[in-house]
Structure 1
Amino acid sequence: MGRGTPVVTRTVRLLRAAAVPLALIALTALAGVVLGRVYAGDLLTRLVIGAAVGSVLVSVAARRLPSWLVAPVSVAAMAGWTLWSLRLAANHAELPGGLLEITGDAARNGIPRLLTAMIPVQPTPDTVLVPVVAAWLAGLAGAEVALRTGRVLLGYLPAAGLYVAALYVVGPNAAPAVGVTVAFVAVAAVGLAAPTGTTPSAGDPAADLAPRVRAAVRLRLAASAALGVALVVGLVALLGPVVAGQVDGRPVDPRRYVEPPQVQSLDENPLIRISGWALHPEQKLLDVSTERSGAPLPPPGGAPPEPGTEPGAGPGAQTGVRIRLAVLSDYDGVTWRVGATYRNAGRILPVAAPARDSTVETVRQQITVAELSGRLLPAVATPREVSGARVAYDPASGTLIRPEGLTPGLRYAVTSVEEHPDPNLLASANVPAGEEVARVLRVADGVPDPMRRLATQLAEDNGAPLARALAIEQFLAEHYRVVADAPSGHAYPNLGFFLFGPRGGGGQEGTSEQFAAAFAVLGRLSGLPTRVVVGFRAGGQGPVLAGDAFAWPEVLFDGLGWVPFDPLPRPNEEPRPVEEDFRPTPEDPPPSEAPAPTVEPSASPEPAAAPDGPPSAEGLSTMVVVGGGSGGLLLVVGALLLTLLALRRSLTRTRLERGDPGQRVAGAWREVTDALRLAGRPVGDDLAATEVAAQARQALAEARAGTTRGGASGSATAGGGTPGGGVPGGGVPGAEPAVDELATLLNQVGFAPEAAAADQAARAAEVATAYITDLRSARPWWRRLLWSVHPSPLRQARRSPHSHPRRPPR
């Protein structure tokens, strides 16, 4: 018994000495438990617990060292634990790169990425760095204050601050941490109740104190600890309800104060990139290797598609695999935009439960970026797992971005869940309505009346939503033609020209941009929630070229989700004229036909003849007023026309003859664009100079063709009276290089205005004058009369003052 007593005494002493360090470890670790509720898995919780244990144990082991030496030793140990944690998190997320690169990226972006990460947060290096470092520093500060100075309550402050910060970061994204908070208070009370002093050892003068004195000291320490605990509990009970009443019932989410990752302006509307890709179809954008449900797909040009999967064969028609790049849900009558909210995500992405009775396939892809630019990351819908690249994800659209941007050689793997709805359910499915889908039902103001009437006509005989969608799809596929060099644009005027413009004059043809945008707008006018998707049609293996890029519309059905449609025409099928199936009703009723003359004379008496003699005063005044008014009106009109003619000629001389050579070249180009506008072929600001030159050649060729068919004598041009003479060389072949030459001069001036020479400016004026003369001469005679006095160039000059172009005009 005598020998066992010292052992028990030493055990009690050790437990008393370890009570405060254990309490500090537990309090710091509980902050990691609270924060780990919004993380996927338990990796973060384990790393924070390790940081809590390591920081407190280093302080305990270094108690005999000078106080100034403890912090450097602990920080060195923290660096080792942090680096190991970052490497573990990088391996867990399958992120490429060395440890130094990963650490630098996490240090620069740790806090914003933590606050913009998607819930549940994936434990990646940038989302674990801040919690691990904060836990270590809190444990270090608390241990030094509580153990070295003996002020336990003050030593609890760093752990308590870390706990409050964890609660704030979690916000409303998890259930209230009631149980963890109770455990935090209990551990703090136990640590306060434990004595921090050491029991006097043998030989110590304090050991000679009478047992009664030692008992009194213990009683005083116990009373002080009990009083401290009672005081803390009392304050919590007293002030807790008051503080809770002043706080909103729903915690504040700090994520609303931090801007999430954004796409570039290039990616905000990738629909306009379709036409540019169509002009360079051989440009290599991606390399793709695909497996669907474990079986590799055939390469492009391999096995033919199954019947009913070719373009235009119905909803969801496709060849090979559709790789989705962007989803555009917002339309303001001018531009379709992405409008997504991207959150930093890890390797595993949240995926909603599949729709009822849908066939689900797993698609795995290895994608290598070649010449695709921007931040949008291509993937088959809907991605579930991404490795090899750090991504941000928008759950509403199921699209990905890489915040750092795409770079050639970037290689990543995507596992997607592809759904195929049951056709039997689709035929009877309804479409949702209400505030939840108002965004994809919104129709901006300014819809052209013919477009609205067309949507009404297509919806009249098709009541079911699927029937309406198929009617729009069939109408577009049967009446319009796909043309690779069609100009970009999907605003209301562009879509109106695409749907109802003259065949042979650029109307009723376009790229998939116009087909998808027209379907989406007509669908919304018919009550269908629609959106536009931009992506690529590719085979299972091999490169994805710019010519594989296309856009398609999707319709939202109740219980089935978004269903793709394909309004593109079938290959080698000649479209029917729109007029065969759509005849817009005139806004005003036509005048009634004049009645046929009767055979018998009218029975009404003829008016009596006026007596001979001078006219009356009333008749004279009327004639004078009418005659004087007509003459005055003619004088005013003549003066106005002469003024317009003088202003137009002055504007032309200013553009072609005044200023430095760069300004004169730009002025010659403005003369050409004004001429195209006067000819009814305005060019958009989004077109490059070479695209405008191509449109100018097309406008001149069509004008000549129309003049030739009409037999008009105005086809003689300024080139000596020959049909093609406006530009040296004569004929269309001679006119085309001259417009291209002017576009080339303009691009040179745009990049180096000071390098333009006087002979280049003279050549630009010569080409512009010849082209305008040729284009004007091909117009009808009455349009040629109005050409020189039309005020449109004056208005355009007022909006765009004459200046050096800082870049090639578009």
Structure 2
Amino acid sequence: MGRDPPVVTVSSAQARADGPGVPVGDDAGPGGRWARLLRAVPVPLALITMIALAGVVLGRVYAGPLLTRLVVGAAVGSVLVSVAARRLPSWLVAPVSVAALAGWTALSLRLAAGHAGLPGSLGEVTVDAARNAIPRLLTAMIPVEPAPDTVLVPLVAAWLAGLTAAEVALRTGRVLLGYVPPVLLYAGAVYVVGPNADPAVGPTVLFAAFAAAGLAMPSGQRTPASADPAAGLAPAVRAAVRLRLLAASAAGVAVVVALAALLAPVVAGQVDDRPVDPRRYVEPPQVESLDENPLIRISGWALNPDQQLVDVRTEQGAPEQGARIRLAVLSDYDGVTWRVGASYRNAGRILPATPTAPDTTTDTVRQEITVADLTGRLLPAVPTPREVTGARVAYDPATGTLIRPEGLVPGLRYTVASVRERPDANLLATANVPAGDAVARVLRVPDGVPEQLRRLATQLAEENGAPYARAAAIADFLAEHYRVTADAPSGHAYPNLAFFLFGPRNGGGQRGTSEQFAAAFAVLGRLAGLPTRVVVGFTPKGDGPVRAADALAWPEVLFEGVGWVPFDPMPRPDEEPRPVEEDFRPPPDDPPPSQVPEPTVEPTATPPGEAAPGPVAGRRGPGPAVLAGGGTGALVLLIGLALLVLATLRRNLTRARLERGDPGRRIAGAWRELTEALRLAGHPAGDDLAAAEVAAQARRALAEARAAQSGASEPAEQRRSDAGFPAAGPVASGPAGSHRSSSPGIVPAGARTRQPGSDLPGGEVDELAGLLNQVAFAPGTATPAQADRAATLATGYVSALRAARPWWRRLLWTVHPGPLRWRR
């Protein structure tokens, strides 16, 4: 028998004494050193790559590659420090790594501050970043600017993950346990990104691949020869054992990959399509009450015209006479005050761009602005800002306005580069205005509108059909009839606007500051179906100080394909205002009885003594009575024929709306039948009402009609409305296809206290409104069955409303020519 080769064993104490450089077993010689090096590389490389991929995933919501580069540097530095310190005692590795972390963090914060253009020393930048890093990161606007406060947390988290993973995986040999910190870091990056970027499929696949490679490759952890399963065996047997171990490792990896491939679709199917955005749990920067409604500051500035608020220096773009600098945009009105209602997000130096209309020309304006006596948080800038340096800002993309969360201080200097838009004026005459939920905020008219304001808006709208013509008419009316005074009291609630518009001139009415002019325009515009808002800003004379006298409020109107267009309702300095009564005289609330003829309920029979005489004998031709009778008969015949034609045309129109066309068109036609029924009943739906509000008005109209039919007393407005059909023609259609009439019987929503009866088709009307909203906001999704349902609902409501009218009004309802001529 052959003798077995001697087994060489080395005790653990001897191995520690020899150190890592002493070859053991087959690792002796240069080839053994290369083998140890190859075994030592995979796990550190896998850890570095996994941590770096977390930076790649997080960097998708950052502007530029700076954040990714800093995280990659942290991954490389943390792991390599642990690899280099393996000969040191374990308790000494952490202090050395933390010292290296401090150096890398200081360098990274300096790079980020320079990239963001933030002033201040390294100490100030570091303290501010440490204090505000987490809230600013979660409230930052996408894309996030790589500033010191937005890179500090990812940087430190990446370094600590690398330190922990390297110590566990390399020093103790527990590679799988060492993967826990990189996995948590990667999951945190995915969570922070949320729905703000596309799914990270590629980085996730690479993450799993490198993790599997680190597990499959043998560890570089040096072990005693006695711990080697192949130690002491013959070379051939040792090779076979190692081959089996390698095959088992490959099989294990294959099983893990196969399980992932099989389970991934199942797990993915249980995940919501839209990930959770952690930003919704953090409150964004807020403004104070002074900045929430800066419109009230106009009167105070008007009384101190020489107060210097800011100083402006134009660096790029010619400063124009009267070029406006915007301070705030107010879109919300509750009948008492206008409010900003913006959602500000922390932003970096570069602000997200907003799309402009195709035919809009733009030019760049760069200004250096120095704050003087202006207080609050709002930052003035030429619309629309694209880059801000010298100040940390928060930005509202919907309005394009800026704030400084820390507040304004005298001497604050910042530079703003803005893109000034110049829409094509030739498009305004024919431009339409948008409608729907997207602009419901700037179309909303709260309850309690004074009747005089509504009548004035109706008068101006009926005289001007196109949206731009309506807006220009409102601006001209205000400019021609009212006076600007610096001492006018502040206020823009409904009572203030009513006094401004209709108050006696010798009693303080019909005069105000730009606050009242802009607010009155915006409210009248919304009543006329125009999406409006109020803007507060300044009109400097050029470069230099901007004083309180330059403060101004102006209205803007949104047009499709054009954008927000400012209007100037201020009077000309050299023109004397005309009395309002010359162009608008509100009708009395209760007209004299002689102006409201009461309908005859029963026909009056002709008295016997006044009967028409019969023909006289001896006359050759028909007498005057016969001619009169024949003429009357012909007239009755013509009237009957005309009524028959009208009834036929009305019936054909209804059938065309409810039975022809695609389902969406039929549903819109059914809604048109409902709104025209309301108009025929004396309850026209306003242009500013949404479909749900029109449905509520329809329920109230039917309730009042049934109450009147049962003998209940009617409100004065209802009696005036029922006295006759609206005489004025329609104005522009609203989103629901309804029209506004000049009938004085329009009552604001909520003004009536009578509740609908329990038998009213309220749910059916709401269902019809829901079908209309589906057609408007999801075109092409309506089905023929839904169109048939809409036709049934509309027909049922119209029949119920018509049945609740007096018999003679039901006859007039059938032949009323209004629906044939009202704009469709």
TM-score in terms of structure 2 length: 0.67
Q: What secondary structure does 2:535 align onto?
A: strand
Q: Structure 1 stretches of 5 or more lacking a match?
A: 299-318, 594-810
Deviation at residue 231 of structure 1 after TM alignment: 4.6
Aligned in 2, Cα 1:144/1:201: closer, same or farther, shift over 3 Å?
A: closer
CA distance in 2, matches of 1:233, 1:207: 31
What does 1:31-430 align with in structure 2 at a 5 Å threshold?
31-197=54-220, 210-212=234-236, 214-215=238-239, 218-219=242-243, 221-223=245-247, 225-293=249-317, 295=318, 297=319, 319-430=321-432
Q: Distance in 1 between matches of 2:511 and 2:225?
A: 102
In structure 2, the residue matched to 1:703 is none
What SS class does the counterpart of residue 372 from structure 1 fall into?
coil
**Distance in structure 1 (CA, Å) of the matches to 2:161 and 2:241:** 32
Instruction: State how 1:393-792 maps to structure 2 within 5 Å.
Output: 393-590=395-592, 592=594
SS in 2 for 1:334: coil
More moved, 99-108 vs 506-515: 99-108
What letter corresponds to residue 121 of structure 2 in structure 1?
G
Partner of 1:659 in structure 2? none
In the TM superposition, residue 268 of structure 1 has moved relative to its aligned partner by: 0.6
The code of the aligned residue for 1:33 comes to: V
C-alpha separation in 1, matches of 2:158 and 2:255 = 27
- How has the CA–CA distance of structure 1 residues 198 and 502 changed in structure 2, closer, same or farther, with 3 Å as cutoff? closer
Q: CA deviation at 1:320?
A: 2.4
Q: Give the deviation of 1:64 after TM superposition.
A: 0.7
- In structure 1, what is the equivalent of residue 49 of structure 2? 26
Distance 2:479 2:587 in 1: 23
Distance 1:275 1:200 in 2: 84
Q: Report SS of the residue matched to 1:65.
A: coil
Q: What SS is found at the alignment partner of 2:552?
A: strand
The aligned amino acid for 1:474 is D
Query: Is the contact made by 1:365 and 1:415 (CA closer than 8 Å) also made in structure 2?
Result: yes
1:615 equivalent in structure 2 = none
CA distance in 1 between partners of 2:354 and 2:304 (Å): 38
Find the aligned partners of 1:494 and 1:8 in 2 and give their Cα distance. 93
Looking at structure 2, the residues matched to 504 and 84 of structure 1 have their Cα atoms a distance apart, in angstroms, of 70
Does the 8 Å CA contact 1:268/1:339 hold for their aligned counterparts? yes
Give the secondary-structure state (helix, strand or coil) at the position aligned to 1:87: helix
Q: Which amino acid aligns with 1:73?
A: V
Q: Which residue of the partner structure matches residue 598 of structure 2?
A: none
Indicate the SS of the match to 2:170: helix
**CA-CA distance at 1:282 after TM superposition:** 1.2
Q: Check whether the contact 2:330–2:533 (CA below 8 A) recurs between aligned residues.
A: yes
- Contact 1:479-1:576 at 8 Å conserved across structures: yes
The corresponding residue for 1:302 is none
Residues 37 and 220 of structure 2 are in contact (CA less than 8 Å); yes or no, is this contact kept in structure 1?
no
Gap regions ≥5 residues in structure 2: 1-26, 596-824
- The Cα of 1:270 is off from its aligned counterpart by 0.5
- How far apart, in 2, do the equivalents of 1:141 and 1:439 lie? 52
Q: Deviations over 1:353-376 (max 9, x none)?
A: 321221211111100011111111
Does the 8 Å CA contact 1:192/1:228 hold for their aligned counterparts? no
What is the Cα deviation at residue 218 of structure 1?
2.7
Give SS of 1:248's match: coil
Q: Give the whole-Å Cα distance in 2 for the aligned partners of 1:225 and 1:152.
A: 14
CA distance in 1, matches of 2:429, 2:315: 30
- Cα deviation, 1:100-128, whole Å, max 9, x if unaligned, reads 11111111111111111111111111111
User: C-alpha separation between the residues in 2 aligned to 1:548 and 1:143?
Assistant: 63
The change in CA–CA distance for 1:399 and 1:486 in structure 2 (over 3 A counts) is same
Give the deviation of 1:291 after TM superposition.
4.3
The answer (yes or no) to whether the contact 2:173–2:221 under 8 Å persists in 1 is no
d(CA) in 2 for partners of 1:592, 1:184? 88
Residues 433-461 of structure 1 show CA distances to partners (whole Å, capped at 9, x for unaligned) of 11111110011111001111111111111
- Greater shift after overlay, 489-498 or 451-460? 451-460
Preserved contact between residue 277 and residue 547 of structure 1 (Cα < 8 Å): yes
Is the CA contact 1:280–1:546 (under 8 Å) kept in the aligned structure 2? Answer: yes
Q: 1 CA distance for matches of 2:303 and 2:227?
A: 94
Separation in structure 2 between the aligned mates of residue 560 and residue 343 of structure 1, nearest angstrom: 26
Residue matched to 1:667: none
Look up the match of 1:649.
none
Indicate how the Cα distance of structure 1 residues 367 and 197 shifts in structure 2: closer, same or farther if over 3 A, else same.
closer
Q: TM-score, normalised by structure 1?
A: 0.68
Amino acid at match of 1:166: A
- Structure 1 Cα separation of the partners of residues 425 and 308 of structure 2: 36
Contact 1:200 1:207 in 2 (8 A): no
What SS does structure 2 have at the residue aligned with 1:321? coil
Q: What CA deviation, in whole Å up to 9, does each residue of 1:320-357 have, x standing for no partner?
A: 22110000000010110001111111111111232122
Q: Deviations 1:295-331 (Å, cap 9, x if unpaired)?
A: 4x37xxxxxxxxxxxxxxxxxxxx4221100000000
Shift of residue 225, structure 1, vs aligned partner:
3.1
The code of the aligned residue for 1:393 comes to: Y
Deviation of 1:135 after TM superposition, in Å, equals: 0.5
Mapped pair 1:17 → 2:40 = yes
Paired amino acid for 2:457:
A
Take 1:540 and 1:18, find their aligned partners in 2: how far apart are those partners?
66
Distance in 2, matches of 1:577 and 1:96, equals 57
Q: Secondary structure at the match of 2:76?
A: helix
Q: Do 1:260 and 1:341's aligned partners in 2 also have CA atoms closer than 8 Å? A: yes
1:271 maps to a residue whose letter is L
Q: Is the 8 A contact 2:171 2:221 kept in 1?
A: no
What is the deviation of 1:258?
Answer: 1.1
SS at 1:385's partner residue?
strand
Decide whether the 8 Å contact of 2:36 with 2:220 is kept in 1.
no
Residues 177 and 204 (structure 1 numbering): CA distance in 2 closer, same or farther, change over 3 Å? closer
1:590-629, CA deviations, whole angstroms, 9 ceiling, x for partnerless residues? 3559xxxxxxxxxxxxxxxxxxxxxxxxxxxxxxxxxxxx
Could you tell me how far apart the structure 2 residues matched to 1:143 and 1:523 are? 67
* Offset at residue 234 of structure 1 (A): 4.3
Supply the distance in 2 between the matched residues of 1:577 and 1:456 (Cα, whole angstroms). Answer: 19
> Is residue 475–residue 569 contact of structure 2 (8 Å, CA) maintained in 1?
yes
Q: CA deviation at 1:241?
A: 3.4
Give the 3 Å change call, closer, same or farther, for CA 47–162 of structure 1 in structure 2. same
- Conserved 8 A contact 1:292-1:361: no
- Once the two structures are TM-superposed, the CA of residue 5 in structure 1 deviates from its matched residue by 11
Count of residue pairs brought into register by the alignment: 568
Give the superposition deviation at 1:249: 1.8
Q: Secondary structure at the match of 2:506?
A: coil
- CA separation of 1:203 and 1:34: change in aligned 2, threshold 3 A: closer
Identity of aligned residues (%): 78
How far 1:13 sits from its partner (Å)? 2.6
Task: Measure how far apart 1:540 and its partner are.
Answer: 2.8
Residue 422 and residue 352 in structure 1: after superposition, are their counterparts in 2 closer, same or farther (change >3 A)? Answer: same
> For the Cα contact (< 8 Å) 1:487–1:510, is it kept in 2?
yes
What's the counterpart of residue 644 of structure 2? none
